[in-house]
Amino acid sequence: MYRRVSILLRKHFVSVLILCASIVIPFSAVKAADPAKGKQIFQQNCASCHNVHKKLTGPALAGVEGRWSDKKLLHQWIHNSASVLASGDKYANDLFNEYNKTAMTAFPALSNEDIDDILAFIKVEEAKPVGGAKPEGGTATAGAKEQGSDNSLLFGIITLILAVVALILMQINSNLNKLAGDKEGQPTPEPIPFYKNKAYIALAILVLFMVGGYFTIQGAIGLGRQKDYMPEQPIFYSHKVHAGINQINCLYCHAGAEKSKHAMIPSENICMNCHKAIKEYSGPELFTAEGKKVDGTAEIAKLYDYVGWDAEKGKYTKPGRPIEWTKIHNLPDHVYFNHSQHTVAGKQQCQTCHGNITEMDEVHQFADLSMGWCINCHRTTKVQFADNNYYSIFEKLHQDIKDKKIDSVTVEMVGGTECQKCHY
C-alpha cells in the first residue's frame, strides 16, 4: 500500500510540485501585502496623526502612493523622514512646510513588508465610501413626535362632535316631549329663545367666569416662568448626540459646575478639542422640534466659521467670534443659586434639575424653576450627612443621629428653607 503511494507520487512528482506551488504562491502573495495586518500596524503607529480620508496632524493618506514619485523614497520617508528632507526632495520639503514644519516621527522598526501592508490597507480603505452607511433611526421618532402634538387637536375635534351630538339629542328630546305633551292634551308653554333663557345666561356667565379665571390665574402664576422653553440656538447642538450617544460627561464641557456658581457655557476651544478631528456628522439623522431635517456636517461647519478654523488647511485662519447661545435656564437677580454647592456638597446629579438631557436633541427647560419647586426639593431631599466635611459643624444633628432620635437629615433641617439662604 505504502509502496504504491510512493510510486504514484514519484510518477506525478512534477504535477504534485505544481499543485503545491499553486497553493503556496498566492498565499505568500497575500501575505506580502495583507490589509488586515496593515490595519493593525496603521492603528498602532500611524492613526494618531493620519487618517485615510481626513487631514489630521499629517496629510490624508488616500492616494499616497500616487503622490510619491518613487515607492523606495516613500519607504525611506517612513523609516526616517529627516533623511529624505536632507536629500532635498522637492515634494518632501513642500509637504514639510505645508504642515507647519512638524517632522514626521521616524519608524525605523517598520520593515518594508509592514509598510506594504499599511499601503494595502490604505488602498482598501480608499475604495470604501467616506463616512459609511448612515443608519436611519431618526425618522421613526420624528413621526412619533408629530403624532403626539396632533393628539390634542384630535381630542378637541372629538369633544366638539360629541357636544354637537348631545345638542341634537337634546333638541330631539325636547321635541318628543312637546309631541307627547300635545298628544296628551297638555298645553306646552311657548319655548323661550335660548338667549333669553335665564338658565342659559347664568350658565354662560358661570362658564366664562371659570374659563377666564383659570387663564388669569395660570397666566399670573406663569409670569416669569419658562418651563419647556426651547429656543432655537445659533448652532444645532444636540446634547443627545454628545452626552447620550458619545457618552461625553456633562462636566467635560460644563467644567464650572463643580467649581463655581455657573455651570459655564463651554468656550469654543472646548468644542475644538474634538472637532479639529471630527469634521463630519455620521450618527443617526437629526430633526428639529418642528421635524425639519438637520445636516450635522453643516452645523459643524458653522462652528468652524465662528472659531475661524479652516478645515481644509487645518489652521485657524481668521479671528474667532463668540457663539451667542440663547440662555434657557434663567433665575431672576433676587435669587441666589450656586451650581457647585448642589453638585459637590449636595452631590446632586445634573439630571435632577435639568431632566433627561442625554435624550434631548434640543434642550428645553425641564423644571419650572419656581420657588415652590426649590422648596419642595429642599424639604424632601436628604443630605448626605455622614463623611461629608461640609456639614461637620452641625453638631446637634450629628448627636441626634448618634442617639437615633432622627435617621436622616433633610436640606430643610440644615436651613435650606430659610429666606436669606437664597434671597439676600
Partner 1 sequence: MKRTSNILIVAALATGAFLAACNKGEHNRKPGRIYMPDMYESRAYEFYSARLAGLKPVDGTVKRGELLPYHLKEADTAQANLVKNPLTITADDLKEGERLFNIYCGICHGTALDGNGPLYKGGEGPYSAAPANLVAGAKSGYSEGRLFHVMTYGYNMMGSYASQLDRAQRWKIAAYIKSKQPGAAAQPAAAAAPAADSATAK
List the one residue from 88, 148, 187, 372 that touches partner 1 (CB under 8 A).
148
The binder of partner 1 chosen from 12, 321, 382, 423 (CB under 8 A): 321
Query: Which amino acid, one-letter code, is at 268?
Result: E
Question: Of 115 and 413, which CB lies nearer to partner 1 in the complex structure?
Answer: 115
Sole binder of partner 1 in the list 48, 139, 351, 399 (CB under 8 A):
48
Q: Which of 135, 143, 181, 322 is in the footprint of partner 1 by CB under 8 A?
A: 322
Least distance in angstroms from the C-beta of 331 to partner 1? 9
Smaller CB separation from partner 1, 21 or 335 = 335
Scanning 85-93, 221-229, 386-394, 410-418 for contacts with partner 1 by CB under 8 A, the matching segment is 221-229
Q: 115: buried, middle or exposed (CB in 10 Å: 19+, 13-18, 0-12)?
A: buried
Q: Decide: helix, strand or coil at residue 227.
A: coil
Comparing CB distances to partner 1, the nearer of 197 and 399 is 197
Nearer to partner 1, 12 or 347 (CB): 347
CB of 90 to partner 1, least distance (A): 26
Distance CA 167, CA 160 (A): 11
Q: How far is the CB of 32 from partner 1 (least distance, A)?
A: 24
Closest CA to 145 of 366, 365, 368, 360: 360
Binding mask 287-316 for partner 1 (x = CB under 8 A): --x---------------------------
Q: Read off φ and ψ for residue 185, nearest 5 degrees.
A: 80, 10
- Rounded Cα distance between 220 and 190, Å, is 46
Give the CA-trace dihedral at 224, 229, 234, 238, to 10 degrees. Answer: 140
Contact with partner 1 (CB under 8 A): which of 13, 209, 325, 336? 325
Residue placing its CB nearer to partner 1 in the complex, 17 or 163: 163
Rounded-to-integer distance, Cα 287 and Cα 141, Å: 9
* Angle at CA of residue 54, ends 52 and 59, nearest 5°: 80
Q: Which is nearer to partner 1, 145 or 421 (CB)?
A: 145
- Piece in contact with partner 1 (CB under 8 A), picked from 107-115, 271-279, 399-407, 411-419: 271-279
Considering only residues 56 through 85, tell me which ones interact with partner 1, judged by CB under 8 A: 56-57
3-state secondary structure of 209: helix
Binding mask 238-267 for partner 1 (x = CB under 8 A): --------xxxx-xx--x---x--x--x-x
Distance CA 80, CA 106 (A): 5
Query: x-or-dash pattern for partner 1, window 363-382, by CB under 8 A?
Result: -x------------------
Contact region with partner 1 (CB under 8 A), list: 12-20, 24-32, 47-55, 62-70:
47-55
* Inter-CA distances, 194 with 88, 134, 191, 211, Å: 103, 64, 9, 21
The x, y and z cell numbers of residue 339, run together, are 451650581
Q: Contacts with partner 1 in 149-178 (CB under 8 A)?
A: 149, 152-153, 155-156, 159-160, 162-163, 166-167, 170, 173-174
Q: Is 345 exposed, middle or buried (0-12, 13-18, 19+ CB in 10 A)?
A: middle
- Is 334 an interacting residue with respect to partner 1 (CB under 8 A)? yes
Quick one: 289 or 303, whose CB is closer to partner 1?
289
Query: Which position has the grid cell 526632495?
Result: 89
- Cell numbers placing 360: 434631548
**Residues 74, 112: Cα–Cα separation, whole Å:** 10
Burial of 61 (0-12, 13-18, 19+ CB in 10 A): buried
DSSP state of 277: T
First to last CA, the chain: 106
Element (H, E) at 287: strand 286-287
Query: What's the half-sphere exposure (Cβ side, CA atoms, 13 Å) at 195?
Result: 0
Closest approach of partner 1 to the CB of residue 239, in Å: 14
Tell me which residues in 4-43 interact with partner 1 (CB under 8 A): 39, 43
Where in 193-212 is the site for partner 1 (CB under 8 A)?
199-200, 203, 206-207, 210-211
384 binds partner 1 (CB under 8 A): no
Judged by beta carbon, residue 25 or residue 130, the one nearer partner 1 is 130
